[in-house]
Structure 1
Amino acid sequence: MADSPAAGAASSARSRRAQLRERYDGVRAEIDKARESAGRQDEVRLVVVTKFHPFSDQVHLAQIGAPDLGENRVQEAQSKALAWQELAADGGGAEEALLPGEGVPGRPRLHMIGHIQSKKTGAVAKWADEVHSVDSIKVAEGLSRGRIREIEESGAESLRCLVQLSLDGDEGRGGVSGDEFHRICDRVAELPGLELCGLMVVPPLEGEPARHFEDAAMVRGKLRTCHSAAKEFSAGMSGDLEAAISAGSTCVRVGTSILGPRPIL
């Protein structure tokens, strides 16, 4: 006798969740091993990047205890943030991810890690818990205006912000360098509704990642002489976790190693 549609959906959900749990635990083990090798006692956060993957995967990740999820594209991130609101309100919208008799998980922290157009800052400020990709004063000021509205309307907390550092000046990969980087950091620190938490870096394509992370760590050290609370150093992805953590990364961003290949859209 064939399984009912409900039984088939539950079986699929269990299988997907078990797969995500195994991969998530595997990456966490890699992080812990890299920390130990670097002689570090502090924690390193893992932001799971769910770009192009369905909202149901975010729900599975929340159920297995992944506290931080990241997105690259504003529109997709906004859609998933809205889905979390709907899930909390009526429990709907993620039936394929919830197992029979299972409660709705709490919303994880949502990170924006991709480029933000200035015209979309208000939208990001509504849902993001942390932004890794501030790369202009205009973007910072837009986030500030949007977050102030959220604070006044719903009592939201200040928006945690990291300024994206470019080590090679390649604008196509995002970020800023030199004096402009420090000017933006200074502006974020003084804007209401924002909290300057540190920097994010995507290493250049050319050269050794370890050297790039060391260079970024030096910039971070200089930043902290002016802004002591800017402790976060978002650096490292699947292929360069060890080098990033050795250089002091406090937050790594991993997608494919946990979720698998991105769906073809």
Structure 2
Amino acid sequence: MSGEARRAELAANLERVRERVAAACAAAGRKPEEITIVAVTKQYPASDVRLLAELGIRDIGENRDQEAAPKAAECRDLDLTWHFVGQLQTNKARSVARYADVVHSVDRMRLVTELGRRVRAAERTVTCLIQVNLDPDSEQGVLGPRGGADPGDVPALAEAVEAEEGLALGGVMAVAPRQGDPREAFDRLKTVAEELQARYPHATVISAGMSGDLEAAIERGATHLRIGTALLGNRRLIVG
């Protein structure tokens, strides 16, 4: 596909996503301006990131450091906010700390400590979202690991993030369980978010909702949507 054709495809997809966001906001009594679309560009090349930037997308999400690091470097001339949205191993914290502006998947104390250490070494500031596990079945391995802290562990993790120089507490993130009504899951996340904001008023981010459930997420208070397939199409493997 030519660059011009790909740009037209992305523009049409983005228009449809924005229409969905606008409709969901209208139904929920919210404004579209309250919603940040994070384009999840995993398995897509840096050229797509550039096209999305031309179309007005400033927030880019990646879930694998091996792919994200070179892509962020290739696009360093663009004024973008890079979001790391995948599960983060502590041995990748050093690399992620060099380019990520927001890490959505902070879910354990060891990661908080290591990420803080690596961010200070890089002389940067990174916003952290605490990933909340909304899927009780994942604890028994019924549906496989999804990542995330138990809701009861969120206050202690938030305190740890606040105590780490170089880390800023931004709010919470969650992935809806594969089964069940996503609205019920996002209701639980909203409760956790409200409790967190009561103590840390600046922690206003609720990262929830993807291509298939963005309407439910907006209805339940999401501020950031992680959109991949609806924007970029079905995943196709790229080299790198």
Alpha-carbon deviation of 1:179? 2.6
User: Aligned to 1:184, which of 157, 164, 170?
Assistant: 157
User: Given the alignment of the two structures, is residue 218 of structure 1 paired with residue 197 of structure 2, yes or no?
Assistant: no
Is contact 2:25-2:219 (8 Å) kept?
A: yes
User: Aligned to 2:72, which of 72, 81, 96?
Assistant: 81
Alpha-carbon deviation of 1:83? 1.2
Amino acid at match of 1:48: A
Is contact 2:65-2:92 (8 Å) kept?
A: yes
Question: For 1:160-239, what aligned pairs fall within 5 Å after superposition?
Answer: 160-169=127-136, 170=138, 172-239=145-212
Alpha-carbon distance in 1 for matches of 2:198, 2:231: 36
Alpha-carbon distance in 1 for matches of 2:18, 2:159: 34
- TM-score normalised by L of structure 2: 0.92
Q: How many percent of aligned residue pairs carry the same amino acid?
A: 39
Question: For 1:15-164, what aligned pairs fall within 5 Å after superposition?
Answer: 15-41=5-31, 43-85=34-76, 88=77, 106-151=78-123, 156=124, 158-164=125-131
**Deviations 1:52-78 (Å, cap 9, x if unpaired)?**
111111111111111111001111111
Question: Aligned to 1:230, what secondary structure does the other structure show?
Answer: coil
Alpha-carbon deviation of 1:150? 2.1
Aligned residues: 231
Alpha-carbon distance in 2 for matches of 1:123, 1:21: 32
RMSD: 1.4
**Deviations 1:195-216 (Å, cap 9, x if unpaired)?**
1010000011221101111111
Question: Aligned to 2:213, what secondary structure does the other structure show?
Answer: helix
Alpha-carbon distance in 2 for matches of 1:228, 1:234: 16
Report the equivalent of 2:2: 12
Is contact 2:37-2:59 (8 Å) kept?
A: yes
Q: 1:31 to 1:140 in 2, by over 3 A?
A: same
**Deviations 1:210-243 (Å, cap 9, x if unpaired)?**
1111111011111111111110000001111111
Alpha-carbon deviation of 1:264? 3.4
Show structure 1 runs of 4+ deviating over 4 A: none
Unmatched runs of 5 consecutive residues or more in structure 1: 1-10, 89-105
**Deviations 1:131-190 (Å, cap 9, x if unpaired)?**
101111111111111111222xxxx4x211101000234261010113322211110111
Alpha-carbon distance in 1 for matches of 2:171, 2:151: 15
Question: Aligned to 1:238, what secondary structure does the other structure show?
Answer: coil
- TM-score normalised by L of structure 1: 0.84
